């Protein structure tokens, strides 16, 4: 029993030390936010200016591709998961900040706001709504169940198959954006894997080396393919939540990608857990 108590004490101190290392690393990283990415946001608005009549789907696709290539990625030495892409969003932002919300500054964004006010005003006046005008740009449910079932590569294949049956330009543009968005997410995963490999080459601490090696190997597989282990499932959930939150600035706070809780995540992750 004395040995068990001693081992428990050692374990508690080790966990406290690890948590302190993670907290310190996160605090140091986010202390520099918001980062200066105004030139990238300007490039996004320049794309819109060159195509003033372009559909929102085409604008979204262009934004995904630009951010996937140029937004910095970050792998933390003391954190086991990969997820961080810098879109100049402060750590405490509820969802609408950063360059991911760039389309709010376009005429389409103004149209969304007007549509929200059109229903929110009357509903608020008669006591049916006490919130704010949340339309299609906010409080989204990601649908991680299909990501867990098919992986992003599988969803890309499905979208390409549907393109052959598309009956209108708007449907084809939507599917193009679906494919572009998922390909951009895969690009971010590849960049995170490459960053972990770069860090691994100069790392000497065994525990950190093992962590970086697992990140590099896992990021090459998920979320492109369905997760097969609990670690892959947990990282897929976090990766999807964080990247979509950054790119779309949706304020996903009441869904399976919630800021406060993960809702249906236990049922989504259960196959991998088993």
User: Looking at per-residue confidence, does 156 or 135 come out higher?
Assistant: 156
Give residue-wise pLDDT tens across range 53-79: 778 899 889 999 999 999 999 999 999
Give residue-wise pLDDT tens across range 101-155: 788 778 877 887 788 788 778 887 888 776 666 655 666 677 889 999 999 999 9
Task: Locate the domains of the chain by residue range.
Answer: 38-129+143-273
pTM for this structure? 0.85
Mean pLDDT of 84-96: 80
Output the 3-class SS for the chain: CHHHHHHHHHHHHHHHHHHHHHHHHHHHHHCCCCCCCHHHHHHHHHHHHHCCCCCHHHHHHHHHHHHHHHCCEECCCCCCCCCEECCCCCCCCCCCCCHHHHHHHCHHHHHHHHHHHHHHHHHHHCCCCCCCCCCCCCCCCCCHHHHHHHHHHHHHHHHHHHHCCCCCHHHHHHHHHHHHHHHHHHHHHHHHHHHHHHHHHCCCCHHHHHHHHHHHHHHCCCCCCCCCCHHHHHHHHHHHHHHHHHHHCCCCCCCCCCCCCCCCHHHHHHHHHC
Give residue-wise pLDDT tens across range 177-233: 999 999 999 999 999 999 999 999 999 999 999 999 999 999 999 999 999 999 999
């Amino acid at each position: 029993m004395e040995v068990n108590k001693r081992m428990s004490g050692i374990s508690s101190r080790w966990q406290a030390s690890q948590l302190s290392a993670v907290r310190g690393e996160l605090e140091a990283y986010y202390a520099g936010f918001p980062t200066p990415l105004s030139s990238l946001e300007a490039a996004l608005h320049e794309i819109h200016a060159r195509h003033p009549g372009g559909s929102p789907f085409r604008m979204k696709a262009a934004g995904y591709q630009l951010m996937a290539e140029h937004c910095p990625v970050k792998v933390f030495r003391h954190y086991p998961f990969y997820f961080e892409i810098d879109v100049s969003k402060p750590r405490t932002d509820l969802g609408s900040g950063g360059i991911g919300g760039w389309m709010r500054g376009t005429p389409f964004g103004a149209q969304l706001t007007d549509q929200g006010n059109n229903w929110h005003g009357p509903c608020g006046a008669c006591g049916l709504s006490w919130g704010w005008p949340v339309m299609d740009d906010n409080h989204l449910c990601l649908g991680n169940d299909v990501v867990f079932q098919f992986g992003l590569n599988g969803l890309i294949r499905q979208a390409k198959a549907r393109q052959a049956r598309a009956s209108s330009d708007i449907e084809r543009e939507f599917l193009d954006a679906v494919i572009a968005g998922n390909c951009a997410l895969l690009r971010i995963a590849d960049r995170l894997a490459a960053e972990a490999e770069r860090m691994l080459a100069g790392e000497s601490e065994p525990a950190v080396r093992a962590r970086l090696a697992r990140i590099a190997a896992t990021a090459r597989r998920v979320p492109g393919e369905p997760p097969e282990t609990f670690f892959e499932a947990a990282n897929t959930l976090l990766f999807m939540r964080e990247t979509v939150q950054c790119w779309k600035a949706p304020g996903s706070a009441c869904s399976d990608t919630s800021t406060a809780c993960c809702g249906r995540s236990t049922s989504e992750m259960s196959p991998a857990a088993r």
